[in-house]
Amino acid sequence: MNSTVTMPKGDLAEANAIIKTCVHYGFCTNTCPTYVLLGDENESPRGRIDLIKDMLASNAAPSKDTVKHLDNCLSCLSCMTTCAAKVDYGHLIDRARIHIEQTYRRPLADRLIRTALALILPNPRALHTALRIGALARPFRQLFRGRLRAMLELLPAGERNPPAPRRRQVFAADGERKSRVVLHLGCVQQVAAQHINEAAIRLLTRHGIEVVALGNSSCCGALTLHMGKERQAKAAAIRFVQDVMAEKEAIDAVVITASGCGTTVKDYGHLLAADADMSAAAMAIARKTRDVSELLNDLQLHPPKENMAYKVAYHDACSMLHGQRVVVQPRAVLKRAGFSVHDIAERHFCCGSAGVYNMLQPEIATRLGQRKAANIAGSGADILCAGNLGCLTQIGHYSDLPAVHTVELLDWATGGPMPPALRAYPLAPETKTEAPQNDTAPLSAATQSFW
């Protein structure tokens, strides 16, 4: 590891340009989870931008304090939604993490845990083994502290699924084929929550879409990118692009069911911009990439066969709300499928999952998880729904509601099985009532308003 490193000119120029756009309005501080919790200027995007500026200007290893403040950033990108000056904080914090990774020597335990996460999580077979070991250790988690304890707490309950076969599979459309898509299985999702991918495949094929599940490109690179491990992230991205491009028959879209991955894949054009061999293909893949809810919202879904008006609290994953700005589509498609969709207070606020954040920064993640769970409890809903496994795992740890992916609900509504997480819960749909059509309608007891 170098104590100093010269950043490539293009990267430095980009970082400088981003830094210059920050004019210190401070809107970001109001929606930054760490600033709201900790009240420290250096725990805000505005403060972090100043720290990054000093760090990059020095072209040397940052101080321990600077690393702490930058590590505490969730990369939730709430600041980017709020920023009036349109500062591209997402790329700046990624660049800062890469600089830290290349210049700063972390304490041994920190290095070990980060290296382990970067090796295990993107590798389904290694993750499967790690989860089995973790399951054995989980009953003794009270004996552990800090990050190890957090990891054991977050382990999914129940028996581990085997990792998905690492070969390409094609799932034919039911009836006439209307389109053909690549479905990204996700490195963690295909091991920890294979039922989500299964629901997605059933749902898509049921609606006339042929689904190609790729083989070895299991990781998109998001997890390693957010740990500053640029080389691994780019290698994963290149594998992903090559696998998609290797498809002989044309594809209409690359479909993502883990929105954290979606944000990264949609940004491949930027990640691989300096790679002359890959940049054009990366850009093409990025343009074709869609969150599954975007695709589904454009489809005419089969009508629900029964009353599906279950009260669903829809949680916006930060990668959907701030990263991809996919907000309307999941709500619209859930409503069309008959669900009663409820918003959650403070929907702009991260749940604390943030990739590997809840494993690396468990204290802040816990506070955010508890805060999110309290807001969900206030929604009056019976089911929690989100489009990202990380959020479902994190919130599921703090909330009493069963947590399911959007595709599981839509699969269920259009003829698939009830999502596994709902089977143990007594649920009843709301009784459908007609909205009052004129001003002579009686006062609603619920609103006590006259309209």
Partner 1 sequence: MNLNSQAQTPKFLDIVRRSIGDDWVHTADATVSRYGETTLPGSDNPPPAVVYPGSVDEVVAIVNAANETGTQLFPISNGNNISQGSRAPVGANQIVVDLGRRMNRILDFNEDMGIATVEPGVSYQQMHDELVRRGDRFMVDVTSGPPAGSVLGNALDKGAGYTPYADHFAMTCGMEIVLGNGQRLRTGDGALETARNWHMSKYSYGPYLDGLFVQSNYGIVTQAGFWLMPKPPAIRSFAFTFDNDDDLGDIVAAIRPLRMSGFVPTMMRLCNDLWLLASETSHPSYVSGRSITDDERKDLQRAHNLGSWTVSGAFYGASDAQIAPMVERVRSHFASLGRGRYISHEEAMESPTLASAVAAYAGVPSVHEMKQLAWRPGGGMASFTPGVPMDRDLVLQSSRKSREILRSHGLEYLKMYVCGPRFARGLHHLLWNRTVEAEDRAADQAYKALAAAYTDLGLQVGRSPIRYQDFHMSLLGDATRKTCEAIKDVLDPRGIIAPGRYGIGRAATA
Name the minimum Å distance from CB 20 to partner 1.
8
Using alpha carbons, select from 176, 113, 115 the residue that is nearest to residue 148. 113
- Comparison of 86 and 248: residue with beta carbon closer to partner 1: 86
- Comparison of 375 and 414: residue with beta carbon closer to partner 1: 375
Using alpha carbons, select from 235, 170, 237, 239 the residue that is nearest to residue 209. 170
Using alpha carbons, select from 211, 212, 237, 214 the residue that is nearest to residue 224. 237
- Name the token pair of 366: 């816990």
> 40 phi and psi, to 5 degrees?
-110, 130
Residues that bind partner 1 (CB under 8 A): 20-21, 23-27, 30-31, 39, 41-42, 46-47, 50, 81-82, 84-86, 343-346, 348, 375, 378-380, 435-439, 441, 446-449, 451
Paired with 255 in beta bridges are 183, 290
What is the SS3 assignment for 289?
A: strand
- Comparison of 344 and 385: residue with beta carbon closer to partner 1: 344
> 179 phi and psi, to 5 degrees?
-160, 175
Name the minimum Å distance from CB 305 to partner 1.
27
- Comparison of 6 and 438: residue with beta carbon closer to partner 1: 438
Which DSSP string do the residues of 144-207 spell out, in sequence order?
--HHHHHHHHHSPPSPPPPPPPSS-EEEPPSSS--EEEEEE--TTHHHH-HHHHHHHHHHHHHT
- Comparison of 32 and 413: residue with beta carbon closer to partner 1: 32
Name the minimum Å distance from CB 400 to partner 1.
16
Name the minimum Å distance from CB 155 to partner 1.
31
Name the minimum Å distance from CB 394 to partner 1.
20
Using alpha carbons, select from 151, 152, 121 the residue that is nearest to residue 137. 152
- Comparison of 23 and 245: residue with beta carbon closer to partner 1: 23
Using alpha carbons, select from 137, 120, 255, 266 the residue that is nearest to residue 192. 120
- Comparison of 142 and 449: residue with beta carbon closer to partner 1: 449
Neighbours of 421 (CB within 10 A): 19
Name the minimum Å distance from CB 441 to partner 1.
6
For 93-150, the three-class secondary structure string (H helix, E strand, C coil) is HHHHHHHHHHHCCCCHHHHHHHHHHHHHCCCHHHHHHHHHHHHHHHHHHHHCCHHHHH
- Name the token pair of 36: 């709201």
Burial, 161: exposed, middle or buried (Cβ in 10 Å; 0-12, 13-18, 19+)? middle
Name the minimum Å distance from CB 91 to partner 1.
16
What's the Rg (C-alpha) of the chain? 22
- Comparison of 46 and 99: residue with beta carbon closer to partner 1: 46
- Comparison of 85 and 246: residue with beta carbon closer to partner 1: 85
26 φ/ψ sector (left φ>0, alpha ψ -120 to 50, else beta): left
- Comparison of 69 and 99: residue with beta carbon closer to partner 1: 69
DSSP designation for 322: I
- Dihedral angle over CA of 315, 224, 263, 103, nearest 10: 110
Can you give the length of the chain in residues?
Answer: 451
Name the minimum Å distance from CB 229 to partner 1.
30
Using alpha carbons, select from 393, 43, 100, 104 the residue that is nearest to residue 227. 100
Name the minimum Å distance from CB 425 to partner 1.
22
Name the minimum Å distance from CB 300 to partner 1.
19
Name the minimum Å distance from CB 378 to partner 1.
4
Name residues whose C-beta falls within 8 Å of residue 321's C-beta, 6 or more positions apart in sequence: 78, 81, 327, 347, 348
- Comparison of 175 and 436: residue with beta carbon closer to partner 1: 436
Name the minimum Å distance from CB 103 to partner 1.
23
- Comparison of 20 and 287: residue with beta carbon closer to partner 1: 20
